[in-house]
A and B are shown apart, each in its own frame.
Chain A
């Protein structure tokens, strides 16, 4: 698929994720639904890739299949040239509804992935402290999730996902349930985290603005059946401003491609 081939600056980077002719079919009450049809794409190492598309285009299914939480009916997914056979610590995941363990404190949630025998971190507690600091939750270490706001919950979700130091961070509409102001701050924080690590991020959203704000690669998907419509690189300089003409142009471009009405201001 075209991401790497179409962009000469990316050719130096290695393929981190390689999806080939992926088909996922769901059974739904007697019939079957083709959630993903012949999806092929690749994600370069260290890139920030956003997947956008209308609801029902299979973007979440694609992400979950890369995570190893769904299985493919045909086709395959390679991560570092190894086929994905299930979930693993090399791919962290952030969920839209946070999926925090309610019986664990902030600290307990973040530590969860470090408690596996094969994690092998020398100083787990130190690592947890570092992450709490990174996502700005100092003072909330012993708080249970029920007492946190949506934005704080997702900070915990992100810290928990990156705690085992995965090479890939998969994010499923992570900021879909937080208010606009918090979302803005979380964008900045996420980009800082991305800059500070060498993680490859795959981020699913239906919000095109959000995708253009964050990504250096955008994959546009189409529904019925879910398939890749186009891929493009976003080379706007950072930090990006939603009101810049270049920014607005990219957003309008993608909207047109998706057949959505383009806002004129």
Chain B
């Protein structure tokens, strides 16, 4: 029996290290070039408020945290006073998080059961084909008449966006379960569908389920901003609100804030994912 614990030679890892440095250098170069083009473009644009310079945008971004705003915070108390940027981010999270989580739970649940049960799949497949192409934002009309365009309405839109991505992650994952593994589990005493789902299908589909969830984190940011453009409170609303006052730098600042919020969530989730899938 051979078990090699071969580590790459040192000069090899040095090569990687240099290659990494070179890549970072290029990345920084790309960002710098973009900023330069933006800056020159902004200086040449007339009237100047149509495109703020990076500097004006950075100032507006700092401004978001220099002032404070009170937001109503259900479940956390009557009102929270926070730096303005954070306050509106919290407003967004009040419909983003419930929409994302409920959409993920329902999507994964239905994806698992449909992927597992051929009969349910037969029943629901045509319906899925029909509903899937409808863009989440098209449901805004129902969100408005059913819930009003506030947290609940926006959460409903986010729910729909999260639902489909997570549904397909789980569905594809379960369909791809190796039949040898279910056979092995059968011979080891797993004789109920629910146990098989829990002990074999779910862990086996976990990589695809987690990828689906990570994709939905990003997609739901796009959707949430769209929903807020219709009037739900949050960073998306602030983007359009600022632009209505021709404060384009503030709009850019909120755009940057969304990007940072998404990056933090994405990086955080990738770390969790790597830990959960250490077996791969």
Residues of chain A touching chain B, judged by Cβ–Cβ distance below 8 Å, are 64, 67-69, 86-89, 91-93, 95, 97, 99-105, 112-113, 116, 118-119, 136, 140, 144-146, 148-149, 151-152, 160-161, 164, 170, 182, 185
When A95-B183, A99-B181, A99-B184 are in contact, do A149 and B191 touch as well, CB less than 8 Å? no
Nearest-CB residue, chain A, relative to B181: A99
Residues 75-94 of chain B: 1 if any A CB is under 8 Å from the residue's CB, otherwise 0? 00000000000000000000
Enumerate 21 A-B pairs (CB-CB under 8 Å) in ascending A order: A64-B183, A67-B187, A68-B186, A87-B183, A88-B187, A88-B191, A89-B188, A93-B184, A95-B184, A99-B183, A99-B184, A100-B184, A101-B184, A102-B280, A112-B199, A113-B189, A119-B189, A140-B3, A145-B279, A149-B2, A164-B189
Nearest-CB residue, chain A, relative to B203: A103
Residues of A within 8 A of B3 (CB): 140, 148-149, 152
Q: Interface SS of chain A: helix, strand, loop or mixed? A: loop
Residues of A within 8 A of B199 (CB): 112
The count of A-to-B residue pairs whose CB atoms sit within 8 angstroms is 83
B191 & A103 in contact (Cβ 8 Å cutoff): no
A101 & B181 in contact (Cβ 8 Å cutoff): yes
Residues of A within 8 A of B204 (CB): 101, 103
Q: Is B257 an interface residue (CB 8 A)?
A: no
A116 & B188 in contact (Cβ 8 Å cutoff): yes
Complex CA–CA separation, A95 to B206 (angstroms): 23
When A103-B203, A103-B204 are in contact, do A182 and B278 touch as well, CB less than 8 Å? no
A95 & B180 in contact (Cβ 8 Å cutoff): yes
B187 & A118 in contact (Cβ 8 Å cutoff): no
Complex CA–CA separation, A119 to B190 (angstroms): 11
Complex CA–CA separation, A91 to B183 (angstroms): 12
A116 & B203 in contact (Cβ 8 Å cutoff): no
Complex CA–CA separation, A175 to B121 (angstroms): 38
Complex CA–CA separation, A145 to B188 (angstroms): 18
Nearest-CB residue, chain B, relative to A113: B188
Residues 200-224 of chain B: 1 if any A CB is under 8 Å from the residue's CB, otherwise 0? 1001101000000000000000000
A87 & B206 in contact (Cβ 8 Å cutoff): no
Q: Is B197 an interface residue (CB 8 A)?
A: no
Instruction: Give the Cβ gap from A28 to chain B, nearest Cβ, in Å.
Output: 17
Residues of chain B touching chain A, judged by Cβ–Cβ distance below 8 Å, are 1-3, 178, 180-181, 183-191, 199-200, 203-204, 206, 278-280
When A87-B186, A112-B185 are in contact, do A99 and B180 touch as well, CB less than 8 Å? yes
B187 & A87 in contact (Cβ 8 Å cutoff): yes
Complex CA–CA separation, A149 to B2 (angstroms): 7
Of the candidates A97, A112, A136, A144, the one whose C-beta lies within 8 Å of that of B188 is A112
A116 & B183 in contact (Cβ 8 Å cutoff): no
B180 & A144 in contact (Cβ 8 Å cutoff): no
Of the candidates B1, B188, B206, B278, the one whose C-beta lies within 8 Å of that of A151 is B1
Q: Which 6 A-B residue pairs are closest in the complex by CB-CB distance?
A: A113-B188, A87-B186, A116-B189, A99-B180, A93-B187, A99-B184
B189 & A118 in contact (Cβ 8 Å cutoff): yes
Complex CA–CA separation, A206 to B188 (angstroms): 26
Residues of A within 8 A of B189 (CB): 88-89, 113, 116, 118-119, 164
Instruction: Give the Cβ gap from B279 to chain A, nearest Cβ, in Å.
Output: 4
Nearest-CB residue, chain B, relative to A186: B1
Complex CA–CA separation, A144 to B277 (angstroms): 11
When A103-B279, A113-B189 are in contact, do A182 and B1 touch as well, CB less than 8 Å? yes
Which of B1, B181, B278 has the largest number of chain A CB atoms within 10 A?
B1
A116 & B190 in contact (Cβ 8 Å cutoff): yes
Instruction: Give the Cβ gap from A68 to chain B, nearest Cβ, in Å.
Output: 7
Residues of A within 8 A of B1 (CB): 136, 149, 151-152, 182, 185
Complex CA–CA separation, A170 to B185 (angstroms): 14
Residues of B within 8 A of A152 (CB): 1, 3
Which of B3, B185, B199 has the largest number of chain A CB atoms within 10 A?
B3
Complex CA–CA separation, A133 to B99 (angstroms): 50
Residues of B within 8 A of A93 (CB): 183-184, 187
Complex CA–CA separation, A38 to B206 (angstroms): 43
